[in-house]
Structure 1
């Protein structure tokens, strides 16, 4: 089992077993990122076995042609995908003329470790090659201080033997995507950039769709200790230099490698040589250790706001820190043109694009663990793409704006019809994120300027997408896919219908509070009256006998059966069953009804949530990475702490323990907020909608306690939950009144508050 490979440590993810069958899994776990770029944890010296070498630059993508056996109006013209960029990490080693390749060269004392506290990656091993016995140590990190810089150091001690030791740092652009059609490549040399030694300038090849081409330039500098410089080369697709020494037992050599990576998103290609050289000049003026210390200090500042401390459960502690680390490595709000892809910088699955996960799962977390500008950048990303969202709606013959299910530039670029055309609930999640930001911060400036424009266009889409059923005397929405993607082309998905109704009502309320804005946006009284009619007469499937909201028309006619009826050889369904069999089954990939009851928990009583949870959770296989966290939060809310902890463990250690047997494709980045949601919203009972923060904390059995930080309306609040009581401490800001259980508590800098936990 993959979980046995990972050592449990509160601040580290480490493996000490070199298993050729699990290299891709380990590469995913050891991925690094800094918002500007990222790379999988591949071996610098190269690995001859099964490996997925990947380096990715934020915002750099390629429109790969959609290939389907038939074509229908409205299909996206291309499938956008992140492109594997130049390999910046390569440092080849030869001992006595033999390559050091751990696929063919036996090694001992292997250890590969990701330092979560400092954002650094180290790998050590001993090996024998070419008559030399070596102890090797690699150290690397992607700077969050200067995100266009990467730093590496390799140290080698000779334990036995005499001979020639060679170390060759290089940049290699002869790369391809693992998911490329027919082994296509996406890069070619950029002739318009001045070529300098140690520098590669590559541009994405031409495409027929008129989307921008990207130029990425990488340049490197090295500093060697105990090695003499040898031959250098500068080819079309690679550049490097070999350093060598004749060594004997006890000798030590080292090499530092700094790489600057700049792209045409930020700099005109003609300026790349000068920009990269300036970055490297500054980097080379200080030793590797000084840059490493800067990295540690920058990460300490992030952890000061974002850390979650768990006492008494080391696997749970490691899980939450790993998840938060990977999220903050992927995105920290510096660039409003960027968003967060399901795999981040850790792989190519899902094309590396933006999904609805951002608004539904990530905005609430970022609101609490970072400054408001970080979450605001995510909202502005969508507003920037409002014209493209209008285009998407027109492609479907509809008014308003349809935000894409998958995108890089705002235009839909997913080629599965059941997702592209039908999973339209994403529109509602984007609207709800605007409401969450406004309520949580108390700042209405975004809502009143850009946000209301987005809301109006989304409302227009929903008003156009519903249809009137004369037979039922209700508005309906047919032909959709809900969050549960194990049911496609269904009618009246409860969650989708509920979202549509809520968006229309909320947008109308927002306009009522902004005199003059409706006229500015071309919304007249007749249009708003139409919205109100849809709100009043929207059909929401419900079964009175069961007392549950019905997932969609016809769901109760299925052969309903719990997951416990499945055999071990049935799971996971998406790897064992035909798609037809999955669609006909009652099994749920992730929450649909329960997703809605989580999002709008203030609309439902505890008993209503409990009945729906008891009905749907037993049929849920949790084969979506987004599923367990929502169920964990709801289980905590309805008094099922053991279930809540079980599902927390699943979401927190989804990748560390490889629950879905797919971590080798890359980490589940956008679901990683689920661990934070399960603790803070679930165990802590925090809610951020309304005029004040609310908490209803409890401490899971087996934990001695846990604590987390909350940034809220200019304050920084520390919440420490013990076995029987919770202490609220104001770290920064003015006194704050919060709701804990059924009472109000004021927390001031000189007056922490302690309140008994819920039973």
Structure 2
């Protein structure tokens, strides 16, 4: 695949991503980009007939929150190391369909012409192609698939075949493939390793009434999985044959077509699981699912699905006037975020979503710091469900805290699926205690954006208090630092610096965590004293401990260098020598693939934003002058080897008035996956980076900050654009903000009157009212 102008791999289109190549060396990248998901199931954008052409292909269908567990092998082990890795499963692939004509396989790889595209508007994967047999018979094939957003257990596929210049017989083998695997690059820690044979054990396989059903037990886990397939056909087949196979059961059809006639095949694939290996319950549920799906039919199912995605775009769309490539990029990113987010309260969002096996499907802090920034401001119901997942794994976090020798509180795992710590490399894993502060930040941000006090009472306060009390056990009041509260032996977001004392980000976020915990305790005591008393009784929490939180927050040590006038990343960072960037070959990035961690740890070099991230997340706790000085010092030391980095720098450059640099970093973020700028999108998308691209527009160029449940804007129009707009769904209101060359427009689309702030100026908005104010526009470079 060759770049298409401006180094784009795909032609810019506002509402879709298209590939017109019938054979490509970039199959795995395209399979990631064309993936579909609905929060429960995800499937890569592979061909129904499988791949026969050049390059490598990676099949994959996944269920969010379903995993198998395997022991972690250590050369040397110590107390408290994570013992098992939870790995996202490959589950049976129900997409498998092979058509043939006169015994010759019909495939995209051998087509005369073909096109595949991801439709952003309706979250569907589509393709059309023209194919000719060796004997000159021509046909056209059109297919469409969607992972239903209305019926989360359903993957729906429609294929139409038209006989263009012949009368004859078309054969179809429609299967469920339960025996595929893939081996990734073992030298790349970002890539996962998956093999279905290692994780699933068949319990039952049946074909009855032209329906295929498989039941599998997941090895070394409590899960059972069921897969069912049925079809609806436009033509009565000449024959139907059952192919019984444990690994790939299939139904084989033969159809007679007249010239110009079109055959329509609708295939419905349903997945179910439970965590107590109750196979009878799965079978009953799948039977009911099949009855419902068959009664609804294709068009009703599509309409219900389309209604959900339409609602999403109403509350989330971002429009960019003046750059089609960036417009395509942001909508692609928002679509994948919506498709990937767990929506049931028992799953979350992996770093790669449901598009690939990278990072073994693990959930990180990415959700709370990046993704919930987007969801809380646009789709609060989904944000709430992601936070409920953390509540449902709170007991595991308590157990992990005890394992880590903390006598009280809860410590959330750095990487997990089911709630157990899965990080085998503790310096850049378990040591990142700031995961607790990330969850507290997400709780605070969700509450500020939604006003959902009931959630705080029901779930949030317990998580907040249990994670807050850990800081008092981890840190200490240091007499050598005038009694300030210090936190030793942790790793911050910058994973090129590990196991340090007083990481600025960790200390500052812990301070905000403790302060919010005290605020919530005070409010609960005042507004719902009985609920508060019951929770304190449950947690054995008393007023003395809350007072300790207040004191630790007030006395938190935030390292600062008076000579440079900057925040110190940690106590020792500025004492190290600077990395020799000038003599580091370009092909030696990312550094983590070319240098031992100890070599990296000895230098002033950053993988991603650390102090700079603190400046953004804690907003008006720091002056803009300090933010600028920190940017000036730390950005030249940052490799941006993490996709989480560029977006934060973009926001902070915008906040400090450095708009050209802000735009430079934004452009690096928004098409990160579409153009595979980090060279590993074939293993799955980068969900945090995608959320960061929204943040770059809304929090960066839009200047949105949510303070005390009020919306503050400081919008600036990039010189390269004619205008941009975005939607918010905050505090029970839906708004649209449009930024043009001369004016900004604020419009309240739904909800009661609200006061907002534009560069500090109060604006009162009534329902369906638009207010225009003067734009602060960046000058042309």
> Does the TM-score normalized on the shorter chain lie above 0.5?
yes
What does 1:70-89 align with in structure 2 at a 5 Å threshold? Answer: 70-89=76-95
Partner of 1:392: 400
Give structure 1 stretches of 5+ with no counterpart: none
Rounded Cα–Cα distance in structure 2 between residues aligned with 1:498 and 1:451: 21
- 2:422 is the alignment partner of 1:409: no
Rounded Cα–Cα distance in structure 2 between residues aligned with 1:149 and 1:727: 41
Partner of 1:634: 652
Give structure 2 stretches of 5+ with no counterpart: 184-191
Structure 2 SS opposite 1:141:
strand
Partner of 2:586: 568
Deviation by residue 1:525-581 (Cα, 9 ceiling, x = unmatched): 443443344334433221111111111222212332585764423333334444343
Q: CA deviation at 1:425?
A: 0.7
What does 1:331-730 align with in structure 2 at a 5 Å threshold? Answer: 331=341, 333=343, 335-370=344-379, 372-398=380-406, 399-473=408-482, 474-515=484-525, 517=532, 519-520=536-537, 521-560=539-578, 566-730=584-748
Alpha carbons of 1:129 and 1:719: their partners in 2 closer, same or farther (altered >3 Å)?
Answer: same
Q: CA deviation at 1:180?
A: 4.0
Alpha carbons of 1:525 and 1:276: their partners in 2 closer, same or farther (altered >3 Å)?
Answer: closer
Partner of 1:140: 145
Matching residue within 191, 202, 207 for 2:215:
202
232-241 or 129-138: bigger deviation? 129-138
Q: CA deviation at 1:732?
A: 0.9
Rounded Cα–Cα distance in structure 2 between residues aligned with 1:738 and 1:562: 47
- 2:301 is the alignment partner of 1:301: no
Matching residue within 164, 176, 187 for 2:181:
176
Q: CA deviation at 1:483?
A: 0.8
Partner of 1:235: 245
Contact 2:739 2:745 in 1 (8 A): yes
Rounded Cα–Cα distance in structure 1 between residues aligned with 2:714 and 2:678: 32
518-527 or 390-399: bigger deviation? 518-527
Contact 1:198 1:234 in 2 (8 A): no
Rounded Cα–Cα distance in structure 1 between residues aligned with 2:199 and 2:405: 33
Rounded Cα–Cα distance in structure 2 between residues aligned with 1:530 and 1:192: 60
Rounded Cα–Cα distance in structure 1 between residues aligned with 2:599 and 2:24: 34
What does 1:712-751 align with in structure 2 at a 5 Å threshold? Answer: 712-749=730-767, 751=769
Q: CA deviation at 1:601?
A: 1.2
Rounded Cα–Cα distance in structure 2 between residues aligned with 1:583 and 1:751: 55
481-490 or 317-326: bigger deviation? 481-490
Alpha carbons of 1:637 and 1:194: their partners in 2 closer, same or farther (altered >3 Å)?
Answer: same
Deviation by residue 1:683-707 (Cα, 9 ceiling, x = unmatched): 1111112141111111111211111
Alpha carbons of 1:193 and 1:135: their partners in 2 closer, same or farther (altered >3 Å)?
Answer: closer
Partner of 2:187: none
Q: CA deviation at 1:472?
A: 3.5
What does 1:88-103 align with in structure 2 at a 5 Å threshold? Answer: 88-102=94-108
What does 1:87-126 align with in structure 2 at a 5 Å threshold? Answer: 87-102=93-108, 106-126=110-130
Contact 1:198 1:240 in 2 (8 A): no
Alpha carbons of 1:89 and 1:477: their partners in 2 closer, same or farther (altered >3 Å)?
Answer: same
Alpha carbons of 1:442 and 1:182: their partners in 2 closer, same or farther (altered >3 Å)?
Answer: closer
Partner of 1:56: 62
Rounded Cα–Cα distance in structure 2 between residues aligned with 1:9 and 1:177: 32
Structure 2 SS opposite 1:155:
strand
Matching residue within 309, 312, 324 for 1:314:
324
Contact 2:36 2:44 in 1 (8 A): yes
Contact 1:177 1:185 in 2 (8 A): no
Aligned residues: 752
Contact 1:203 1:214 in 2 (8 A): yes
Contact 1:632 1:645 in 2 (8 A): yes
Alpha carbons of 1:582 and 1:130: their partners in 2 closer, same or farther (altered >3 Å)?
Answer: farther
Deviation by residue 1:447-484 (Cα, 9 ceiling, x = unmatched): 23432222221122111111454434443322222111
Q: TM-score, normalised by structure 2?
A: 0.91
Rounded Cα–Cα distance in structure 2 between residues aligned with 1:128 and 1:193: 36
Rounded Cα–Cα distance in structure 2 between residues aligned with 1:246 and 1:585: 71
Alpha carbons of 1:711 and 1:559: their partners in 2 closer, same or farther (altered >3 Å)?
Answer: same
Contact 1:176 1:185 in 2 (8 A): no
Rounded Cα–Cα distance in structure 1 between residues aligned with 2:262 and 2:276: 40
Contact 2:58 2:182 in 1 (8 A): no
Partner of 2:161: 156
Structure 2 SS opposite 1:672:
helix
Alpha carbons of 1:504 and 1:284: their partners in 2 closer, same or farther (altered >3 Å)?
Answer: closer
Rounded Cα–Cα distance in structure 2 between residues aligned with 1:30 and 1:757: 38
Partner of 2:38: 34
Rounded Cα–Cα distance in structure 1 between residues aligned with 2:302 and 2:458: 42
Rounded Cα–Cα distance in structure 2 between residues aligned with 1:182 and 1:242: 27
Q: CA deviation at 1:149?
A: 1.8
Deviation by residue 1:652-675 (Cα, 9 ceiling, x = unmatched): 111001110001001112331111
Partner of 2:48: 44
Q: CA deviation at 1:593?
A: 0.4
Contact 1:200 1:237 in 2 (8 A): no
Deviation by residue 1:297-336 (Cα, 9 ceiling, x = unmatched): 3321221111111111101111110011011112263x11
Rounded Cα–Cα distance in structure 1 between residues aligned with 2:37 and 2:666: 25
Alpha carbons of 1:644 and 1:487: their partners in 2 closer, same or farther (altered >3 Å)?
Answer: same
Q: CA deviation at 1:107?
A: 3.0
Deviation by residue 1:211-250 (Cα, 9 ceiling, x = unmatched): 4222223232241538533322233233221222466865
What does 1:177-326 align with in structure 2 at a 5 Å threshold? Answer: 178=183, 179-180=192-193, 184-191=197-204, 198-207=211-220, 211-225=221-235, 227-245=237-255, 250=260, 252-264=262-274, 268-285=278-295, 287-326=297-336
